[in-house]
Amino acid sequence: MEEQEQAERLADAFWRMDGGAGRAPAGAADAVRAATADRRALRESRALQRARWESVRAAEFAKAESAKDEARQGRRCVVREDVPSENGPYCSSGICPRSGSPGGQLFEAEPRMGRRGVGPDF
In this prediction, residue 18 carries a pLDDT of 66
- CA pair distance 22, 12, nearest whole angstrom: 8
C-alpha atoms less than 13 angstroms from C-alpha of 3 in its C-beta half-sphere: 9
- CA pair distance 18, 16, nearest whole angstrom: 5
Neighbours of 64 (CB within 10 A): 10
pLDDT digits (tens, 9 = 90+) for 71-105: 766 555 555 555 555 555 555 555 555 555 555 45
pLDDT digits (tens, 9 = 90+) for 37-78: 888 999 999 999 999 999 999 999 988 888 887 776 655 555
Instruction: Specify the range with the lowest mean pLDDT, choosing from 17-31, 40-54, 108-122.
Output: 108-122
Strand, helix or coil for residue 17: helix
